[in-house]
A and B are shown apart, each in its own frame.
Chain A
Amino acid sequence: MMNLFINTVQLLILVLAAPLLRGVISKLKAWIQKRQGASVWRPYADLWKLLHKEELVPNTATVVFRLAPVIGFAVTVAAAAFLPLLHPAALLSLDGDIFIFVYLLAMSRFVMSLGALDGGSAFGGMGSSREALVAALAESPLFLVLTALAILAKTGSLSEIAGWTIGQNFFDVSTVHILAFVALAIVTVAETGRIPVDNPTTHLELTMIHEAMVLEYSGPSLALIEWSQAIKLHLLAALMISLFAPWGMSLAASPVGLASALGLYAVKLACLVIGLAIVESSVAKLRMYVVPDFLRVAWALAILAVIFTAITKR
């Protein structure tokens, strides 16, 4: 019962704190650019505003256009249910859930791409075509990264991998971990549409990927899309933390342990976010046809990570 409660809280943190993460990133970027920047709570206000607006639907749109944001949101939340955060257990967990996790994210992309094509303009097709390119090349390294860790931990469950890693000395697993971490970082940037793969603030047709997909959406549907996009970023960040630095998770379900786990999680997340803000402020967006080369780096690193599991002491 206690565990169920903690797991639900974990899920709620992942879902509800996601907009805050976005707010913090844009605040950090503003600081780096010597600007005041908007409040970190701004994304919540945006969501509130969008949810209370009237929705405009293109005249060609069908039920697919209307349902896509809802389904995309629901499956992203379902993916969040597999992630351990405060303790090495999650609401849903089974041996092999790493594949379910990735496929749930893929499902959200599938429905969003269809929603984009339903708008009937050139932008939607452009967005989903480019998204398909990025996803096709980014997803395999993600699978391989998770596979490498699963081989090390001898289990295919995210929670159990986290639980196993807590008991390890960092230097025993560092070979695989460093390779896999870098690969996962590249994949995260690509999957969540951040610089240098995609620019979340652009609306220039030559460069946009994700924004082109959601161009026709407005009002509450746009709110759901923005929110699921924020959850996805939070999910992948939390995935990095739980897989590569789970130290500090509460092993016993004590209030103090959980509180300190939450605090530590916030600190680790802050480190990741600072890194992302620095990268986004200092690197230019890549040209569309250079993105595959960038992702090939992730491929190479992920393959090496899997191979190096062979020489790691188990």
Chain B
Amino acid sequence: MSEFLLVLFLWSLPLTVMVACVAGGRRLVRKLIPGFLLGALLLGLAIAGHSFLSGKTVNVDWSDHLPFALGFALDRLSGFFLLLICAVAIPVVLFSTSYAGHYSSAKWRWYWCPLFILSMVSVVVASTVFAFMLGWELMTVLSAGLILIEGDAEDRRRSLFIYLAMMHVGAAAVLASFLLFVPHAPTLTFEAMRAGGGGLPAHLRPVIFLLSFVGFGTKAGIVPLHFWLPKAHAIAPSPVSALMSAVMLKTAIYGFVRLTFDILGTPQAWWGYVVLGAGIATAVLGILYALGEHTLKRLLAYSSIENIGLIYVGIGLALIFQGRGLPVLAGLSLIAALFHALNHALFKGLLFLGAGAVYKSTNTLNMEELGGLLPRLPGIGISFLIGCAAIAGLPLLNGFVSEWLIFKSLLNGSALEPIPALPLLIGAVALAGTLACACFVKVFGITFLGRPRSDRAKYAKSAPENMDVSLLILAAACILLGLHPGVALYPISTLVGTLIPNATAPPEIAAISRAMPLVAAVVLVALVLALRLRKRASRRVETWACGLPGLTGRMQYTATSFSKPLRSVFTAVYKPERHVDIEPAGQPYFPATISYRSVRTTSFEKTLYRPTVDLVVAAARQLRRFHTGNIQTYLLYIFLMILALLLVLRFA
């Protein structure tokens, strides 16, 4: 029965597309497509929830009927990530129904979107390397296609090219890490690899780990491999950005956890330190870059990098603890990482959809032109605020619980060795946390509060009907998981028990699940008392303008000026290039014109990517000498190659 449902679910997504194609222009049927897709996703949610909660493994294997090993399986880990995909995809599809329509490209989006979701689903339910890589590559190609639907201007194509190039490097590393299993598991199913993993020689295991770290890290956006992320996520249509940031990045987390914990097993502690170091750097740098941005979606993309960093901190700690033989502590850290992955999917999906709604009603994402949107988009504004508070890690919301678990894991590290190296990192994670607070005060305050900063914001259209429903669903999920985290924490803890041997449920889970409702109760009592104290009439007046008339929107702080003090403290990170031209040059005090430009190219671009690209191009130029265009020469190459292979076969 379960097998049938899984197959039905997997087929229902491409079926949606077929219906879409057949229906073509008929409007009635095209309205049915979102409904069809929603039904499929609800089915996915149900089977994912069932597998995640009950632990019943569902296997579908088509290898016997096909020339390659294609199989799907649903266990607790796959169930968790499938749940995450469906839980975010449902609101996104709901949102798309009101977001699309105005574009002639909407039709294409409905063709591609189910396939994109299918590719992500097939990554997390794959039970063979072939199925996994198929989904992995389709995911890249389809998301690139979805980005192109919005337009193919020169700069977009450039960003897209960077995205595709880096994804190929990442996929190559992932594939290489899988292929190293071949001598021990020739069929390349995950089950065979798990069984054969023990036979791997000791020197190969770190190689596999490092390859998968780089491969999955590229997809997840670990610094310095994050370069593509803000470029690609910012130019996609908002529902697609939501899917990419909230869900697609998580498939990389899934792959990394699956390979290191489930298939490879028995990690060494130094692997953990590598992951932890990368995670900390990613978290702090990601949020610092986010703080310096004033384009809403680019900012959110950088903030995704920060959150991926936090997830990697959790994974790294888990590897360290497991390597040191402390399974319960390792379990707590992995729970923190997985729970944060779920939370980030919820609030980042919410925030990207909010950004889409803002774009829909104002036609701009530049925060310098926004402001005062809350009265015009009340439902969207309030749920966006909840998302901001959740991602800033404020108590009573889900983001806080997972950050608390990460802090607690770091503190537990003091049990490890005399020098408290891990607890010291609490300072760095706390810095990322407070910077995230500042960043999202900026995001919400500048975009939704105060006065409009331009006519676009002033004459913002109200959002299409029902657009806020999908945001409110996600906001409700954030609140629920914040007030009653036990709902998710206990099943995740069971899941982690299957990944880390001897990892019993850590006591922190029960503690935080009990504490959050109590904190909420105290806050509620104080809130009611404070509201009773304040029962007085209020009167609307003009904002105080130092006695002068006419405050305008331009007199307010902007996104750039808001972050200026922090940017000046962290100048070393931003390394801005400033150009001030004063005309005429000889008169510093009474100039005719002053022009100021500030360019920020990240130092990664200058010191890492540019030299690498130059090197590749130089190598390609050398290789071109072999390509003479003469067919006889190519035949000679083929002949030499065959000869070489024969020799290898003879003597090897």
Contact = CB atoms under 8 A, between A and B. Distances in A.
Contacts of A81: 519, 522
Nearest to B514: A94
B483 to A, nearest CB: 13
Nearest to A65: B449
A227 B301 CA distance: 38
A220 B533 contact: yes
Given A52-B536, A57-B540, A106-B434, A137 B569 contact: yes
Interface string A89-113: 0011011110110111011011001
A60 interface: yes
B555 A92 contact: no
Interface stretch (A32-40, A122-130, A271-279): A122-130
Interface in A15-69: 51-60, 62-66, 69
A118 B538 contact: no
B487 interface: no
Given A120-B450, A122-B556, A132 B445 contact: no
B21 interface: no
B551 A120 contact: yes
A140 B430 contact: yes
Contacts of A55: 534, 536-539
B451 A120 contact: yes
Given A78-B526, A106-B437, A114-B449, A70 B531 contact: yes
Given A96-B508, A129-B565, A310-B418, A54 B394 contact: no
Nearest to B385: A64
B420 interface: yes
Contacts of A289: 565, 568
Contact of A147 (B372, B411, B442, B544): B411
Nearest to A92: B518
A77 interface: yes
Contacts of B539: 54-57
Contacts of B424: 144, 303, 306-307
A219 interface: yes
Interface string A196-225: 000000000000000000011001110110
A181 interface: no
A117 interface: yes
Contact of B394 (A56, A91, A106, A132): A106
Given A118-B449, A121-B551, A307-B419, A59 B374 contact: no
B430 A139 contact: yes
A78 B441 contact: no
A95 B434 contact: no
Contact of B534 (A132, A141, A220, A306): A220
A229 interface: no
B60 interface: no
B434 A117 contact: no
Contacts of A151: 411, 414, 420, 423
Contacts of A223: 533-534
Interface in A134-157: 135-137, 139-144, 147-148, 150-151, 156
B430 to A, nearest CB: 4
Nearest to B555: A122
A117 B374 CA distance: 12
A118 to B, nearest CB: 4
Given A143-B426, A220-B536, A132 B515 contact: no
Interface string A226-245: 00000000000000000000
B565 to A, nearest CB: 4
A77 B533 CA distance: 15
Interface string B542-559: 111100000101011110
Contact of B427 (A53, A69, A136, A143): A143
A265 interface: no
A309 interface: yes
Given A122-B555, A129-B557, A143-B426, A56 B569 contact: no
Interface centre among A51, A135, A221, A306 (most CB of B within 10 A): A306
A67 B105 CA distance: 42
A103 B411 contact: no
B162 interface: no
A232 to B, nearest CB: 14
A264 interface: no
Contacts, number: 271
B392 interface: yes
A220 B536 CA distance: 7
A110 B441 contact: yes
A117 B563 contact: no
A302 interface: yes
Number of chain B interface residues as a range: 35 or more
A56 B393 contact: no
A13 interface: no
Interface string B567-608: 011000000000000000000000000000000000000000
Interface in B404-442: 404, 407-408, 411, 414, 418-420, 423-424, 426-428, 430-431, 433-435, 437-438, 440-442
B101 interface: no
Interface in B502-521: 507-508, 511-512, 514-515, 518-519
B538 A219 contact: yes
A121 B552 CA distance: 8
Contacts of B408: 95-96, 99, 156
Contacts of B392: 110
A39 B490 CA distance: 55
Contact of B423 (A124, A216, A306): A306
A132 B534 CA distance: 27
A284 interface: no
A248 interface: no
Nearest to A137: B569
A97 B428 CA distance: 19
A309 B372 CA distance: 49
Q: Among B449, B519, B527, B569, which residue has the most Cβ atoms of chain A within 10 A?
A: B449
B367 to A, nearest CB: 12
A75 B543 contact: no
Contact of B411 (A58, A150, A220): A150
Given A58-B541, A119-B450, A132 B437 contact: yes
A121 B538 contact: no
B23 interface: no
A110 B534 CA distance: 21
A224 B428 CA distance: 33
Given A96-B408, A99-B408, A106-B394, A121 B435 contact: no
B564 interface: yes
A211 to B, nearest CB: 13
Given A74-B523, A96-B407, A117 B445 contact: yes
Given A60-B451, A151-B420, A307-B424, 9 more contacts: A56-B539, A62-B374, A69-B534, A96-B411, A106-B437, A118-B450, A124-B557, A128-B441, A132-B441
23 contacts: A54-B537, A70-B531, A71-B527, A73-B526, A74-B523, A81-B522, A92-B518, A95-B508, A96-B508, A100-B395, A106-B394, A114-B444, A118-B449, A118-B450, A119-B450, A121-B556, A129-B564, A132-B441, A139-B430, A140-B427, A143-B426, A147-B411, A151-B414
Interface of A: 51-60, 62-66, 69-71, 73-75, 77-78, 81, 91-92, 94-97, 99-100, 102-104, 106-107, 109-110, 113-114, 116-126, 128-130, 132-133, 135-137, 139-144, 147-148, 150-151, 156, 215-216, 219-221, 223-224, 288-289, 292, 299, 302-303, 306-307, 309-310
Give 3 nearest A-B pairs by CB, closest first: A125-B557, A117-B445, A132-B438
